[in-house]
Amino acid sequence: MKNIVILISGRGSNMKALLSAELGCNIKAVISNKSDASGLAFARAQGIPTAILAHRDYPDRESFDAALSRLIDGYEPDFVILAGFMRILTADFVMHYAGRLINIHPSLLPAYTGLHTHARALADGVKIHGCTVHFVTPDLDHGPIIIQAAVAVLQNDTEALLAERVLQEEHRIYAQAIRGLCAGTITLGDEGKVINHNLPLPGQALISPSLPA
């Protein structure tokens, strides 16, 4: 059975969804760079070991990332899962976990990399928005895409309303992605493209606004 380590910085809502799902793997630890991250208490209540490594205790990103990788490697993970870990990771750290470092991003990548994705989507007037689970590479938010979920952007949407609907899909597809990775039904091919060995039949297209009958 595969081992995973989860990194958080705050409440860890995606972490909570993962801990509540049947992932088919061993969750070896939840690690945070902040001692007051509320998600740590939830993990402990589920019997998951936790650890804190404060980034402010290190003079630069390189030294923090080196210490973080030593801490993570002590748990011998097959995959490292970023679940609201609010740190930009160095290229050395990312390459150390090449093909094993997973993130979820609140947009349909490659659109809207970086921050404030929901506000930018609303400002642009897009009609379909969503979230993406992807492998992490040194090129921020551009790693191979594992799975995506789309939601319709509604006429009266605010940033908060849209974010909440997207978050519901994040909770659903992150667990699905990790489950597939741990089961070996999702793999990263030699050409850097994700292979789904258990690809479901395509469903209906999401059209927003919906077409008249």
Active site residues: 105
Q: Of 109, 117, 170, give the one whose Cα is nearest residue 137.
A: 109
Distance CA 58, CA 33 (A): 11
Q: Write down how long the chain is.
A: 213
Contact by Cβ (8 Å): 146, 103: no
Backbone angles phi, psi at 160, to 5 degrees: -65, -45
Label residue 24 left, alpha or beta by phi (over 0 means left) and psi (-120 to 50 means alpha).
left
Residues 117, 114: Cα–Cα separation, whole Å: 7
Return the DSSP state at 27: E
